[in-house]
Structure 1
Amino acid sequence: MSGSLPAVVELRRYTLHPGRRETLIDLFEARLAAPQEACGMRLLGRFSDLDVPERFVWLRGFPDMEARGRALQAFYGGPVWRRHRDAANATMVDSDDVLLLRPVLEPDAPAAAPAMGGPGAGVIGAICHFDAPIDPALPERFRHQVWPRWQAKGAALLGAFASEHARNSFPALPVREGEHVFAWFARVPAWPDDTAEVWHAEADGIAPRACETMRLRPTAASPW
């Protein structure tokens, strides 16, 4: 799908050493974000997981798989990463929890996005796992069966995604292969009291088993 979201998106979830998340975020924002974009990547959301203190979650996008390979080679083979990789890697226990995705639903209009200044504001992310490629009709079922409940709580959709099964165009960075997922992210003005209940109740018929739900706090410079 074309539109405001990149055609290829990586969802990256890092497990960090205790107490090192803010160290990585500071390094990422000050030294690593802009150089990645200069190499042709588009950085999307960057988050702390509120329920997993050792987890840093972020997404970056590319125009296509070939462009992904070129951009990653330019950055990881370049001087900025060589200069900072030891400091970044020292914060990490695992950086291989990576899903390769493609957009299947575009974001809500910017005017629909809630203000992010409140103490409970943040982003909800969900990952639903399937045993086979998702039904092409599933995104629209989600839009009509699930999304109205979140809209009623003031949420704005940032995007929904399905697994991209193209060959990894930069093998030096592993991705989780053979996965079939439907994932979505939404900005919320406040955390719903019944986040899990709302999602699981409304997900009936959408996913074969419970979906993983994340409560995410954007970094200060996160576009999402």
Structure 2
Amino acid sequence: MRALRCPVVELRQYTLHPGQRDVLIDLFDQEFVETQEAVGMTVLGQFRDLDDPDRFVWLRGFDDMPRRADALESFYGGPVWHAHRDRANATMIDSDDVLLLRPASARGGFPAPPGARQAPGEPAASPPSLLLATIWYGHGPFDTPFVEFFERRVRPVLTEAGGEPLAYLRSEHAPNTFPALPVRMNEEVFVWFARFADEGRIDDHLNRLRHSAHWSEEVLPAVSQRWARTPQRLRLAPTERSVLR
């Protein structure tokens, strides 16, 4: 069993002013990666949303909720954020769409990266890839029996259709230890991530699911009865310095 990486994870979706995404990405990748990790966070990945040119999505991890508070206080109260916050905030319309998550089980966390993050300006060490994040919104908790069902019945069908889950997480309901940054606390979500070589492979995966008898007859009826609303899919292109790619 692999070690649990980042027991607390934020999935952050920012709505930006038109034409400002690459401005923010350049600033983020240059100034906000190593400086956040230096105070105790893990920048898991940062992405362009392929279906919304004005959305920037990123993942940030922590060892636990108390250390999350300490790390965020250190960063947002420190000199790097103070030096660059006006430029960063000027790109944003909304930065409060944040889900606080935890790995759904000891097998559900993000794997350790295969190598070091590239330095600014260097070409990516690995070939381009895309991530598909699927967010299921529940009318009740995605509890341990559901997670066991996902691992035993859902994951094999996703894998058979070419979309093996890279990580799968559920809502973390601990109190927000850094209230200056809001999170969406009153929702039940289950989020899983898969990696694909390109958009065609994502389309192929979704098509294979639609035509899978295991999915339509066995898995989907059991899963969809827990949904409070239509699931959300995010097709994500890693930025040049994203470790998760």
Q: TM-score, normalising length from structure 2? A: 0.81
Correspondence 1:158 to 2:158: no
SS at match of 1:6: coil
Q: Provide Cα deviations, 1:4-26, integer angstroms capped at 9, x if missing partner.
A: 42111111000001111011000
Correspondence 1:126 to 2:134: yes
Q: Which residue of structure 2 lines up, in the alignment, with residue 223 of structure 1?
A: 243
Correspondence 1:80 to 2:80: yes
Correspondence 1:172 to 2:180: yes
CA separation of 1:148/1:189 partners in 2, compared to 1, >3 Å: closer, same or farther? farther
SS at match of 2:69: helix
Correspondence 1:49 to 2:49: yes
Q: Which residue of structure 2 lines up, in the alignment, with residue 23 of structure 1?
A: 23
Kept in 2, the 8 Å contact 1:50–1:216? The answer is: yes
Bigger drift between 171-180 and 187-196 goes to 187-196
Structure 2: segments with no counterpart, 5+ residues: 115-124
SS at match of 1:100: strand
Kept in 1, the 8 Å contact 2:6–2:109? The answer is: no
Kept in 2, the 8 Å contact 1:196–1:213? The answer is: no
Q: Which residue of structure 2 lines up, in the alignment, with residue 205 of structure 1?
A: 222
CA distance in 1, matches of 2:156, 2:110: 14
Q: Aligned-pair distance for 1:159?
A: 1.1
Kept in 2, the 8 Å contact 1:116–1:122? The answer is: no
Match of 1:141 among 139, 143, 149: 149
Bigger drift between 127-136 and 191-200 goes to 191-200
CA distance in 1, matches of 2:183, 2:111: 28
Q: State the Cα RMSD in Å.
A: 2.5
**Shift >6 Å, 4+ stretches:** 108-111
Q: Aligned-pair distance for 1:53?
A: 1.1
Structure 1: segments with no counterpart, 5+ residues: none
Q: Aligned-pair distance for 1:205?
A: 1.5
Name the amino acid aligned to 1:173.
L
CA distance in 2, matches of 1:13, 1:94: 9
Q: Aligned-pair distance for 1:155?
A: 3.8
Name the amino acid aligned to 1:193.
D
CA separation of 1:92/1:153 partners in 2, compared to 1, >3 Å: closer, same or farther? same
Q: Which has the larger radius of gyration?
A: 2
Kept in 1, the 8 Å contact 2:170–2:190? The answer is: yes
Q: Provide Cα deviations, 1:57-112, integer angstroms capped at 9, x if missing partner.
A: 1111111000000000000000000000000000000000001111011357989x
CA distance in 1, matches of 2:112, 2:86: 40
Q: TM-score, normalising length from structure 1? A: 0.88
Name the amino acid aligned to 2:81.
W
Kept in 1, the 8 Å contact 2:5–2:112? The answer is: no
Q: Which residue of structure 2 lines up, in the alignment, with residue 10 of structure 1?
A: 10
Q: Which residue of structure 1 lines up, in the alignment, with residue 120 of structure 2?
A: none
CA distance in 1, matches of 2:202, 2:135: 18
Name the amino acid aligned to 1:223.
V
Q: Which residue of structure 1 lines up, in the alignment, with residue 195 of structure 2?
A: 187
Aligned length: 219
Kept in 1, the 8 Å contact 2:69–2:177? The answer is: yes
Bigger drift between 129-138 and 56-65 goes to 129-138
Q: Aligned-pair distance for 1:45?
A: 1.8
Kept in 1, the 8 Å contact 2:96–2:182? The answer is: yes
CA distance in 2, matches of 1:75, 1:116: 29
